[in-house]
Amino acid sequence: MKIIVLVKHVPDAQFDRHLTGEGNTTDRSESILSELDEYALEAALQLIEARGGEAAGNKVIALSMGPAGAVNAVKKSLQIGASEGVHLSDDALAGSDAAATSLALAAAIRHLGADTPADLILTGMASTDGETSLVPAQLAERLDLPQVTFASSLELDGATLTARRDGDAHADTVEATLPALVSVTDQINDPRYPNFKGIMAAKKKTITTLSLADIGVDPAHVGRSGSWTAVESAEARPARTAGTIITDEGDAGIKLVEFLAAQKLL
Amino acid sequence: MAKVLVFIDNPGQALKKASLELLTIARSLGEPAVALNGDLHDDVAATLGAYGAQTLYRPSAADLDDYLVGPKASYLAAAVQTADATVVLTENSAEAKEIAARLGIKLGAGVITDVVAVDPDGTAHKSVLAGSYITTAKATTPVAVLTVKANSITPEPAVTGTAPATVTVEVPETATAASARITARNEKAASGRPDLAEARIVVAGGRGVDGNFGPVEDLADALGAAIGASRAATDAGWIGHDAQIGQTGKTVSPQLYISAGISGAIQQKAGMQTATVIVAVNKDSESPIFEIADFGIVGDLFQVLPQATEEIKKRRG
């Protein structure tokens, strides 16, 4: 089977993140493979390993859209175990919103499936930068695929995919027929780390770079000009400052209630 | 006047506060109508009228709940066209955002999520990068789709109510073709506590509760609060994953957030730092949560929380 996993190069959420320059885009200087995409990659690897791995003709393609640095997310995916990598990169993509991103990714997925269509498109539940969760659903709509989003478990029996999806009020069992698009939560598995063997093996794997011309997308339909939403202004929220800190001397619970009463929160 | 369509999925016996907020925002933008899915009770219809809904749209198909997202987006697209709406408002739940996402592609409409306020001209305000920035954004398309966070506005009925007409919208026959089917549904037991995303007060526990959420629950009940948790606590299985607050869980913005036994790593802060007032209780005075707490207590939550609960009960007699 052929699985395409979408991986995104995002600012490391361990540090303060910033918006910068024209169009208030995210500063990507301190970026890593989005943590949430590691669960999708792990799910893909488990699915092909259960089917005889690459030796049996299965493969996992890691696809990332983004500027030059985004190739690092592809490299990391190869080290973790993806079979090959694809980096969709074009200056005209800068500033794409979810709709424009999904348009470019849909075209790239069609391009990669020109000979053998992918059986499964796997993504994380959200990117850790934009956090909109819009792209998986928009991709499913553009590719006319069933979407199984926020999967916290995933099983595949022939061409039938079964997943669990946990909502606030209920947990659903969901069924779809391949090909399908699946986004997974961080509850689905424990992602593996790249080991020495994987890091060495990754050096021999191919990374294909695609431009918009390669996938037949008009630059006017992506980027800031092709987006359907525009960020008009951005203001850093003033950092919170520490308030009163006390050490419990046996009456901190009462002091807490006094504080709440003073704030009219009782 | 702009037609504004509010999508309400399965309103049930009574409208949620979040739905009333959407209707209140809709009135500030133009002439409100509602697209419903599921049963429509008389009380709900009356409330929708009181909040100014001019027309209630309902789907021709009754099985939209049997599928995941896709068919609801098809129905809503048909409703937008029938209503000739230029703005669509939905709640900000995971499913509503996905319906909005697919609707956006169907209509060629810009989608803005996590909206906390909307200006009369359609400019949306939201906070991004874990609450570290406030941005304004606008859809550049003829139709705009906005998903609005709960607790964004105080709901107010219309000055003059309406008796809205009901119109059936034909759901396209192809709507269910390429859709995932829901084969089983397990309803979760209702806790009787407020919904985490909508709660005015949240009490959250982390690693420091060491498997015992009792003191957190007692304080939450005394305050009428919802219960939250850090990822450490949900991963340990001490409480359900749906209580998780943080980057990979829920983002909450209550008036009061009480953090108990949570160190406040950046991923946790991402989920709660827009709370109006933050209180932290932690044994470790070096915990980063104290950097953002309005009131911090270095102490044992098993002493501090029960004492606070007793004091609240005493004051309320």
Q: Does A206 touch chain B (CB under 8 A)?
A: no
Q: How many whole angstroms separate alpha carbon B117 and alpha carbon B123? A: 8
Interface test with A, best of B187, B295, B303, B316 (most A CBs within 10 A): B295
pLDDT surpasses 90 at B161: no
Tokens of A43: 């799910």
pTM: 0.92
Contacts of A25 in chain B (CB under 8 A): none
B214-243 residues touching A, CB cutoff 8 A: 223, 241-242
Higher local confidence (pLDDT), B161 or B20: B20
- State the pLDDT at residue B195: 87
Q: How many whole angstroms separate alpha carbon B24 and alpha carbon B153? A: 8
Cβ contacts of B227 within 8 Å, gap of 6 or more: B191, B193, B196, B202, B203, B204, B205, B213, B216, B217, B220, B239, B243
Mean pLDDT across chain B: 94
Tell me the shortest Cα–Cα distance from A52 to chain B, in angstroms.
27
Region A85-109: mean pLDDT is 97
pLDDT surpasses 90 at A260: yes
- State the pLDDT at residue A30: 75
pLDDT digit string, tens, across residues B224-280: 999 999 999 999 999 998 899 987 788 888 999 999 999 988 888 888 988 999 999
- Give the count of Cβ contacts less than 8 A between chain A and B: 270
Tell me phi and psi for residue B250, to 5 degrees. Answer: -95, 155
Region B158-174: mean pLDDT is 93
- State the pLDDT at residue B177: 85
Interface test with B, best of A38, A172, A251 (most B CBs within 10 A): A172
Q: How many whole angstroms separate alpha carbon B22 and alpha carbon B52? A: 11
Contacts of A137 in chain B (CB under 8 A): 69, 97-99, 101-102
Cβ contacts of A237 within 8 Å, gap of 6 or more: B127, B131, B132, B133, B134, B274
pLDDT surpasses 80 at B174: yes
Local confidence band at B292 (pLDDT 50, 70, 90 cut-offs): very high
Local confidence band at A21 (pLDDT 50, 70, 90 cut-offs): low
Region B33-58: mean pLDDT is 97
- State the pLDDT at residue B25: 98
- State the pLDDT at residue B280: 97
pLDDT digit string, tens, across residues B92-136: 988 999 999 999 999 999 999 999 999 999 999 998 877 778 899
Measured between CB atoms, which of B123, B139, B297 is closest to A252?
Answer: B297
pLDDT digit string, tens, across residues A186-197: 989 999 999 999
pLDDT surpasses 90 at A131: no
Contacts of B117 in chain A (CB under 8 A): none
Give the residue from A222, A221, A4, A8 showing the smallest Cα distance to A112.
A4
Task: Please check whether residue A184 is in contact with residue A152, taking contact to mean a CB–CB distance below 8 angstroms.
Answer: yes
> Do B133 and A169 lie within an 8 Å CB cutoff?
no
Query: In chain A, whose CA is at the least distance from the CA of B145?
Result: A229
ipTM of the complex: 0.92
Query: In chain B, whose CA is at the least distance from the CA of A14?
Result: B266
- State the pLDDT at residue B289: 95
Taking the alpha carbons of A21, A23, A29, A30 in that order, is the dihedral positive or negative? positive
pLDDT digit string, tens, across residues B199-221: 899 999 999 999 999 999 999 99
Q: How many whole angstroms separate alpha carbon B171 and alpha carbon B7? A: 15
- State the pLDDT at residue B243: 93
Measure CA A70 to chain center: 12
Region A201-217: mean pLDDT is 97
Task: Please check whether residue B51 is in contact with residue B14, taking contact to mean a CB–CB distance below 8 angstroms.
Answer: no
- State the pLDDT at residue B198: 82
User: Cis (ω within 30 of 0) for the bond into B32?
Assistant: no
Query: In chain B, whose CA is at the least distance from the CA of A231?
Result: B137
